[in-house]
Structure formats: C-alpha cells, structure tokens
Structure 1
Amino acid sequence: MKPFDIVTITVNPALDKSTHFKGLVPEQKIRCDEPRYDAGGGGINVSKAISRLGGTSLAVCTSGGPIGEMLEKLIKKETIEYTAIKVQTWTRESFVAVDDNTNSQYRFGFAGGKISEQEEQKILEILSNLTPQFLVASGSLNEGLSTDFYQKIAKIAKKSNSKLIVDTSGEALKKVLEIGAYLIKPNVGELAKLIGVERLELEEVNEAAKQIIAKGGAEIVVVSLGPQGAVLVTKDSCDFVPAPNVVKKSTVGAGDSMVGGMVWALSQNKSLKEVIRWGVACGSAATMNEGTQLFKREDAQRLFGWLKGK
C-alpha cells in the first residue's frame, strides 16, 4: 500500500439517501422524488472534502452486505483511494427528506451494526501499519465497540507520530483526551461537557478550550459555533471567524466539510489563521447544497476569499 499524508477512518459509515416531497401527512403514502445516493459517514465525508480541494487521502472504512457494496461504488465514483474492511453486519443507511411546501428538512439516522472483536482488531491492525502525517478519526461508533475505541487509535497515532484529528463526542472523545490529540472539534455544548459544566457562554469558550490544552488533551481546539462561525484556540492564541451569510439548503455534512477543509489546509502547510478560515469556508459552502452533497470547490474558494479579511 502506497503511503498517504492523510488517512481517515470511518467505522460506522452510511449510505446517504436524500429526496424531496410535498406535504407531510400522517397515515398517508408520501410520494417522493427520485432519491440521490451518496457515500457518507464522518471520515468518508472528510476524504471527499479533501478531494474536492485537490488533495488526496486514504479513506479506511467498514463495509457490510449489499449496502456496503453500493457504498464502495459511490466512493469509487468520488475517485477517492479507500480500503474497505469487510464486516458481517450490513452497512447502515441514513435518510434526508425535504418538504417542498415548508422547506423543512427531516433527517433520519440508523444505528450501525455490531462490530465483532475480530473485526475491531482488523481495523486497528490496518491503522497500525500506516504512518500518515495526519490521521482523522471521525463519526459515531457502532454497537459492539467500547467507548475507548478512539482512545486505542490515539495510542496508534502517538506510536506512529501521526497528528490525530478527532471529530466525535461524549465518552469516546473524553477518553481520547486522556491520551491526547493534535486537534479536536467539539461544539459549544460538547466543550461544556468536556470540562464538566452545564453550559458555556461565547465569552467563556476560549478559557474552556485552554483548560483542555493545558491538561494535554489537545494542541488545537476548534469550537464550532454553528451559524455564528467557529473559534480556533491554542495555548497562545484565540481566533474567532464569523460564518459568512449564505442561503442554507442543508446542514448535512457541514461539520465533516469543515474538518476536511482544515485537514487539507494543514497538509498544505497553511497558517492556523488560514486553516480555520478554510474550515469555515468549506463548512458554510456545504450548507449551500441540497441533501448530502457536501460543497462545491468554487463556493469554498469564494467564501475563503471573503473570510481572508476577517
């Protein structure tokens, strides 16, 4: 296997299906438009975002059953290098539907199938044999995986001197912080939980992130502020970037697009000032497209140009 500067891992990928309908009426058959299918899941979306910016990565993911086969075909269409780890349970699906009468978006997600101990070991074994500059662990965990699974990946990254970037939440993220990561991307609510408080005001975010950095949990904390933008915090700096005002059609994949934009910028040796602006640009650009499409490169470039002066 050829070396890659960026490797993404998605243990719980999804076949994303999106459509439109007119009027949500209970107990009646809802007629939907022809569905769109996309390969989804945190790490896969990150690899797609990197590809759209002209970068390359290796997407490591699980794949099970006929849905997994379709997922792999869609990844191939994206011209992304990937390694699929076959599992016994079927790959999950997710469903996004927009009511054209109200422009309301409905998002339905299913839990991932159980991962066996042998399958888990196979995933970790493959990652142990890779030495990327950046290792991205993103997305939810399947049934059967303990909350220390990403912590195990953090240990692998430390051993290979890879810079670990983690986008997950809850106990899985807390356990990663015990080992340490290069960059984490919580939202404000998740950040509050990480430091053991109920909520945080915007002016408290910087100090909260620096608490995590001071304890060795991460070198960089990027806090997503939703429609307000994002803030990048290191031990010595804090950089708030407002989100550009765009016409939003879907928020699906916006967070993954943000991570992809940042990882691509890091791999290009961009400054942290540029890294966070590429992240916000890609995340905002993703909201301009319907369903599960992520972003268009030209939209991300235009928004980055606007953010350069902010």
Structure 2
Amino acid sequence: MPHIVTLTLNPAIDVATSVPEVTPEHKLRCGPVRRDPGGGGINVARVVRELGGESIAVYTRGGATGSMLEELLEEKGLLRRSIPLRDSTRESFTVAEGAGAREYRFILPGPTLSEREWQRCLDALEDVAVGAAFIVASGSLAPGVPEDFYARVARLGKGLGVRVVVDTSGAPLRAALEEGVFLAKPNRRELRDLSGVAAEDLDTQAAAARELVARGRAELLAVSMGSDGALLTTREAQFRAAPPPVETHSSVGAGDSFVAGMTLALARGNPPEEALRWGIASGTAALLTQGTDLCHRADVEHLYTQVAVTKVPRP
C-alpha cells in the first residue's frame, strides 16, 4: 500500500497535566506531566502508524523544543523529514480540572517562518510524496506563511498525481478549496463560512455541502459535527455517521484521529462510506484516552462495529 505523507507547518510539544481546581491568583500544583509530539499532521501520522499504515511526517522544528520534538518522534518510531527553523518550536498545554469534567487548552503562538523556510517545506514535501497515496496537510499555518500555502500543496499534489487532504480553517482552507482538493474536513461553522449559508439544520448543511462538491472544491467533503458525528458528501451520494456513546476523557486530537482513520481506509481501497465509519471510530476512540494521547487501535476496531452510517436522501 502506498504511504501517506503528512505536513505540519506549526507543530508543538503537547503538554498535558491536571490540577484539582483552577482558581485565580493561587499556585496550582499540577499532577503528572505527559508530553507528546503534536500538531495536525504529526497527529495524523501517529494515528496512521497506530492503525497499521505507513506514514512519513514532514514538519518544521527549531530550538531546544525542536530537539525535544525530534526525540519524541523518535520514541514514536515515525518516519519523518524535518525542516530546521531559526526560531523555536511552540508548546501547547492541556490542563484537566478535578476528575476531568473540564479541560483547558492553551495554544502558544508558533515561530515566524521566512519565505526560504516555508519554501523548503514545499521542496521536502515534493521529494517524499512521490508515489504516495495521499498528502495530508493539516493544522494551522505558522506566522509568515502565505494564506495560499495549502493551495500550493494542492497544486503540488496534482503535479505528482497524489490526492490531497486538507484539514484547516479560515482563509487557508478557502484558498485550498479554490484550487480543489480530494478531501476536506470543515466543521459546521467552517461550512457556513465557505458556503455563505446559515447552515443550522441537516437539510441546509447537506445542500451547502453538495454545492461545494458540485463546484469542484473537493471530491469528498466530510463535515464534522461533534457529538452528532459527521456528514460525508461525494458527487454521487451523501452519508451521515453517528458515533457510539462513550465517556470522554480528553478531546485532544479527536479531529486528527478522524482524518487519519478515514484517509487510511481510503488508501486501503475502502469506499467512502466505509472510510467514514473508520474515521468516526478513530475520532471517537481518541476521546477515551487521557491528555494528549491519541486513539488506540484496539479501541478503534471495537468502535468501528458500533458506528451507524445511513444514506441521506437527496431532494
């Protein structure tokens, strides 16, 4: 099976810990600390590997935190290509309060990339993506990176004959869809922004998604809807998937796990509706783990059998 290449422009050291209670002005004594390599594409690569697929992570790294990122990725056993930066890799913090009923997520700004640095990311991607099944461009863009960067990735993928998956938001997502991608994963708010339609009910959301696919913005459009599951639109059909109920321990990486599970299933030749089931199972399984841990294969395979997929009638 061809490999999956992921791209992370703004990775992070994801730090997770807990406190009994969050209160202002007091010293908050934290519990044990967990550190994981993070950022959209890196998380996708981690999950692809966990589920038995082959992935190569392309990412930036700089400073002492960049060296730590390298060590953490080495521990995970990921194949990778890093682009060194002048400035340091960022950190992100997730703090669970009490028994984990509430979770606080603090996202620090990333380093500013020079034109030479972000251009080297494209060069590295072009090198390692030859013969790949997919390029997954996921996560926020670092400061200094042009808003059409993911559109450039989409053009690069077309030149290589590699399908491109995009999971981002705002202007970078809009630019990528103007270029056209294979799969995009907006949430409901992003769907409203893209379509200009106040898509509040399923019928309106389904119509907005069909319009984007019909205009060639994406061959597959998977709209994530949180606890309501996801809506998948292709040129031929639409499918709704509902996640099985689980006890949520942490939502960190759930969206990335969804993208990884769905992309890997497509790379394995599954039809879109089956890939959607794997995506929902992977995203739901990520909710079962603590802090910045991601989904586990046994949980994904168990939950897959419980995911209900229904075909949405077209008007």
Q: TM-score, normalized by length of structure 1? A: 0.96
Equivalent-residue separation in structure 2 for 1:239 and 1:23 (angstroms)? 42
Q: 1:74 — aligned with what? A: 72
Q: 2:214 — aligned with what? A: 214
Aligned to 1:30, the other structure's residue is in SS state coil
Q: 2:141 — aligned with what? A: 141
Give aligned pairs, total.
308
Alignment of 1:110-189 (within 5 A): 110-129=108-127, 130-131=129-130, 132-189=132-189
Equivalent-residue separation in structure 2 for 1:309 and 1:146 (angstroms)? 38
| Aligned AA (1:44) | I
Alpha-carbon distance, 1:200 to partner: 3.0
Contact residue 233 and residue 239 of structure 1 kept, 8 A = yes
Aligned to 2:306, the other structure's residue is in SS state helix
Equivalent-residue separation in structure 1 for 2:187 and 2:199 (angstroms)? 11
Cα deviation digits, residues 91-121 of structure 1 (max 9, x gap): 0000000111672111100111100111011
Deviates further, 16-25 or 37-46: 16-25
Counterpart selection for 1:10 from 8, 11, 28: 8
Equivalent-residue separation in structure 2 for 1:205 and 1:102 (angstroms)? 32
Alignment of 1:38-117 (within 5 A): 38-100=36-98, 103-117=101-115
Contact residue 93 and residue 105 of structure 2 kept, 8 A = yes
Equivalent-residue separation in structure 1 for 2:69 and 2:107 (angstroms)? 16
Q: 1:19 — aligned with what? A: 17
| Counterparts in 2 of 1:4 and 1:309: CA distance versus 1, 3 Å | closer
Contact residue 4 and residue 58 of structure 1 kept, 8 A = no
Equivalent-residue separation in structure 1 for 2:273 and 2:27 (angstroms)? 50
Contact residue 4 and residue 57 of structure 1 kept, 8 A = no
Contact residue 43 and residue 136 of structure 1 kept, 8 A = yes
Equivalent-residue separation in structure 2 for 1:102 and 1:188 (angstroms)? 26
Structure 2 gaps of 5+ residues are: 311-315
Percent identical among aligned pairs is 41
Cα deviation digits, residues 206-251 of structure 1 (max 9, x gap): 1111111111110000010100111111111011010110000111
**What is the CA RMSD across the aligned residues, in angstroms?**
1.4
Cα deviation digits, residues 35-91 of structure 1 (max 9, x gap): 100000000000011011111110000011110111111111111101111001100
Equivalent-residue separation in structure 2 for 1:309 and 1:62 (angstroms)? 37
Aligned to 2:119, the other structure's residue is in SS state helix
| Aligned AA (1:291) | G
Equivalent-residue separation in structure 2 for 1:272 and 1:185 (angstroms)? 13
Q: TM-score, normalized by length of structure 2? A: 0.95
Q: Tell whether 2:255 aligns with 1:255.
A: yes
Structure 1 gaps of 5+ residues are: none
| Counterparts in 2 of 1:82 and 1:293: CA distance versus 1, 3 Å | same
Alpha-carbon distance, 1:166 to partner: 0.3
Equivalent-residue separation in structure 1 for 2:50 and 2:41 (angstroms)? 14
Alpha-carbon distance, 1:5 to partner: 2.3
Q: 1:236 — aligned with what? A: 236
| Aligned AA (2:263) | V
Aligned to 1:306, the other structure's residue is in SS state coil
Contact residue 223 and residue 230 of structure 2 kept, 8 A = yes
